[in-house]
Chains A and B, each alone.
Chain A
Amino acid sequence: MIEINKISKWYGDFQVLTDCSTRINKGEVVVVCGPSGSGKSTLIKCVNALEPFQQGDIIVDGISVADPKTNLPKLRSRVGMVFQHFELFPHLSITENLTLAQMKVMGRSKEEASQKGLAYLDRVGLKAHAHKFPGQLSGGQQQRVAIARALSMDPIAMLFDEPTSALDPEMVNEVLDVMVELAQEGMTMMCVTHEMGFARRVANRVIFMDKGQIVEDCAKEAFFGNVEARSERAQQFLSKILQH
C-alpha cells in the first residue's frame, strides 16, 4: 500500500532524512516512534507530499509521489491525515469542516457529503455537536472531528502525526479509542506517536527513528518483547519512556 524507498531529505545543508525505507501493507498498523527531532513527522509528511524530498521515492497504492506528473491533490485526497494540532478550519461549522473537501474535491452533493460526514461524526460520538464551531469543542473532541473529516474522504490509508501530543491527558484516551477501533476494522494506518500502550495493543510493526534514520523496523512482539536484541539507541529510548 505505502512503499517508502530510500528517501533522503535536506533542509539546506542539514540532512533530516537519510535513506529511509519501509513499507506498510494493506490493513497494517505501523507505529513510528523516536526522540523529537528524529524525523518522524517529516517522514510521515513525505508520504502525502506535504514535505518534498530530494532523493528516493514513495509509492502510494501504485502511484509515485516523487513523479512530477502525479496529480498530488488527487493522491492526497485518498490518504487521510490527522495532525498534532487538529487543524480544523475555525471559521467553518463542524458539518462544513466535514463536507468542504468532499464537495470541492470529490464533487459530492451537499446532501451526500453531509450524510457521509454526519455518519462518521456519529461514529466518533459527536453527532450532537454538528452545528458547533471548532473553537467551541475541547481538544479531544476536535481531534475526533478531524479523524471523522479524514474518514469522510473514504481514504485507502490514514496518517496520524502525533495525534495525542497536544491533548490534555484526560482527553488522550477518547482519541486513542477511536484509533483502536479504526485499526481493528482493518484500516491501513501509519501513526507517529509516543503512545506505547496504543502500539502494544494494535500495532503490527514498530519503526524507531533516530537522527533521520530508521534504526528499527520490526514486529511489535520483537520490539517490546525482545528488548535486548534492539539497538542501543532504541533501548535507551524505551527505558526512558517505559520507566513510569
Chain B
Amino acid sequence: MSTYQWDWGIILQQVPESEEFYYQWLISGLGWTIATALSAWVIALLLGSLIGVLRTLPSRPLSFIGTAYVELFRNIPLIVQLFIWFFVVPELVPTVVGDWMKRDMPLPEFTTAVFGLGLFTAARVAEQVRTGILTLPRGQKNAGLALGLTLGQTYRHVLLPMAFRIVIPPLTSEFMNIFKNSAVALVIGLTELTFQMKQITGDYAPSNPIEVMTLVSLLYLSVALSVNRIMAFIEKKSRVPGYISGGK
C-alpha cells in the first residue's frame, strides 16, 4: 500500500496509440450506462405494471401468466439471462430472425442489454405493483365498480394512482438497482462504465487502477443519488393531502 504511486493525472492522460483520453472513455461508458438503464427502466415499468396488474385480476389464466412470468425472470440470475438472450436465443428462433439478430440488429449489445435488463427488472416491478394494489382497501375496487366504472377504468382511475404512490419507495430502490445492474452487460461486450473501467485498469493503465476505480465508484454513486433525489421529488409532488402513509 505504502508503495502505491497515486497519480490522479492518469484520468486526463491520452490513451496510448489513440486520439482519445481516458476521461473520454469513462464519460462514454457513463453515457452507455445511463442510456441502457433508462431504456430498460421504461420497459420494466410498463411491462412490470402490466404483469403486476395481471396477477391481481380475478381471471385465473391471466393471473397464472403473470405468476409464471415473475417466477421465471426473477429466479434466473441476470448474468445468465443476458448470456441466454445474446448467445442462445438467436440459435433457437427461426433462422431468418436469428440471422437478423446476429448480423443486422442495430447496436446488438445495447439492444440485448436493454431488453434483458428490462425484462428481468419487470418481474421485480410487477411484484411491487401487485403489492401496492393488494395493500389498498378491498372496498376501493367495489366503490369504483359500484359507480359504473368498468374494471379497466377502476384500475386506471382508482386503484393504480394510489398503488403507485404507495410503492414509490421500493420502486426507487429498483430504479437505482437498474443502473447498478447494467454493469453486468459488460459480459456481452456493452462498453458501459464498468467495461471501460475494466479495460483501462486491465489493459492500458494497470499501474493506476485505484484512481480509476474510485472515480467510477463515485460516478455510480452520484447517479444513484440523483435518481434517489428525483424519486423523492416525485414522491413529494404526488403526496395526497391528508392521506396518512406512515412517516416518522
Q: Smallest Cβ distance from B196 to chain A, in angstroms?
A: 43
Q: How far is the CA of A136 from the CA of B140 in the complex (A)?
A: 18
Cβ contact of B147, chosen from A90, A91, A101, A137, cutoff 8 A? A101
Q: How far is the CA of A108 from the CA of B92 in the complex (A)?
A: 53
Q: Smallest Cβ distance from A146 to chain B, in angstroms?
A: 8
Asked if B217 is an interface residue, CB under 8 A from chain A, the answer is: no
Q: Are A87 and B143 in contact (CB under 8 A)?
A: yes
Asked if A169 is an interface residue, CB under 8 A from chain B, the answer is: no
Cβ contact of B148, chosen from A88, A90, A153, cutoff 8 A? A153
Q: How far is the CA of A153 from the CA of B149 in the complex (A)?
A: 12
Asked if A85 is an interface residue, CB under 8 A from chain B, the answer is: yes
- Of residues 205 to 233 in A, which have CB atoms within 8 Å of B's CB atoms? none
Q: Are A153 and B143 in contact (CB under 8 A)?
A: no
Q: How far is the CA of A84 from the CA of B146 in the complex (A)?
A: 14
Q: Which 7 A-B pairs have the closest CB atoms?
A: A77-B148, A135-B242, A87-B143, A101-B147, A136-B242, A105-B148, A81-B146
Cβ contact of B240, chosen from A77, A133, A150, cutoff 8 A? A133
Q: How far is the CA of A100 from the CA of B148 in the complex (A)?
A: 10
Q: Smallest Cβ distance from B236 to chain A, in angstroms?
A: 14
Q: How many A-B residue pairs have CB under 8 A?
A: 84
Q: How far is the CA of A23 from the CA of B146 in the complex (A)?
A: 20
- Of residues 185 to 215 in B, which have CB atoms within 8 Å of A's CB atoms? none
Q: Which residues of B contact A136 (CB under 8 A)?
A: 241-242
Q: Which residues of A contact B158 (CB under 8 A)?
A: 89
Asked if A110 is an interface residue, CB under 8 A from chain B, the answer is: no
Q: Which residues of A contact B162 (CB under 8 A)?
A: 89-91
Asked if B137 is an interface residue, CB under 8 A from chain A, the answer is: yes
Q: Smallest Cβ distance from B150 to chain A, in angstroms?
A: 5
Q: A91-B165, A104-B153, A104-B157 are in contact. Are A153 and B147 (CB under 8 A)?
A: yes
Asked if A132 is an interface residue, CB under 8 A from chain B, the answer is: yes
Q: A73-B150, A90-B240, A134-B242 are in contact. Are A83 and B165 (CB under 8 A)?
A: no
Q: How many residues of B contact A (CB 8 A)?
A: 23
Asked if A40 is an interface residue, CB under 8 A from chain B, the answer is: no
Q: Which residues of B contact A74 (CB under 8 A)?
A: 148
Q: A101-B148, A101-B149, A153-B148 are in contact. Are A87 and B240 (CB under 8 A)?
A: no
Q: Which residues of A contact B161 (CB under 8 A)?
A: 91
Cβ contact of B140, chosen from A79, A89, A105, cutoff 8 A? A89
Asked if B142 is an interface residue, CB under 8 A from chain A, the answer is: yes
Asked if B244 is an interface residue, CB under 8 A from chain A, the answer is: yes
> What are 28 contact pairs spanning A and B, CB under 8 A?
A45-B142, A48-B146, A73-B150, A74-B148, A77-B147, A77-B148, A78-B148, A79-B146, A81-B143, A81-B146, A84-B139, A87-B139, A87-B140, A87-B143, A88-B143, A89-B140, A89-B143, A89-B157, A89-B162, A90-B243, A91-B162, A100-B149, A101-B148, A104-B157, A105-B148, A105-B153, A136-B242, A153-B147
Asked if B145 is an interface residue, CB under 8 A from chain A, the answer is: yes
Q: Smallest Cβ distance from B62 to chain A, in angstroms?
A: 18
Q: How far is the CA of A134 from the CA of B162 in the complex (A)?
A: 13
Majority DSSP secondary structure for residues of B touching A: helix
Q: Smallest Cβ distance from A178 to chain B, in angstroms?
A: 18
Q: Which residues of A contact B140 (CB under 8 A)?
A: 87, 89
Q: From A81, which residue of chain B is reached at the shortest CB distance?
A: B146
Q: Which residues of A contact B242 (CB under 8 A)?
A: 90, 132-137
Q: Are A87 and B142 in contact (CB under 8 A)?
A: yes
Q: Are A50 and B240 in contact (CB under 8 A)?
A: no
Q: Which residues of B contact A104 (CB under 8 A)?
A: 149, 153, 157
Q: From A75, which residue of chain B is reached at the shortest CB distance?
A: B148
Q: How far is the CA of A137 from the CA of B242 in the complex (A)?
A: 8
Q: What 1/0 mask marks residues of chain A from 41 to 83 whose CB sits below 8 Å from any chain B CB?
A: 0000100101000000000000000000000011011111101
Q: Smallest Cβ distance from A126 to chain B, in angstroms?
A: 15
Q: Which residues of A contact B153 (CB under 8 A)?
A: 104-105
Q: Which residues of A contact B145 (CB under 8 A)?
A: 50, 73, 76
Q: How far is the CA of A81 from the CA of B144 in the complex (A)?
A: 10
- Of residues 146 to 179 in A, which have CB atoms within 8 Å of B's CB atoms? 149-150, 153
Q: How far is the CA of A132 from the CA of B240 in the complex (A)?
A: 10
- Of residues 135 to 185 in B, which have CB atoms within 8 Å of A's CB atoms? 137, 139-140, 142-150, 153, 157-158, 161-162, 165
Q: Which residues of A contact B143 (CB under 8 A)?
A: 81, 83, 87-89
Q: Which residues of B contact A77 (CB under 8 A)?
A: 147-148
Q: Which residues of B contact A149 (CB under 8 A)?
A: 147
Q: How far is the CA of A106 from the CA of B140 in the complex (A)?
A: 20
Q: Are A73 and B139 in contact (CB under 8 A)?
A: no
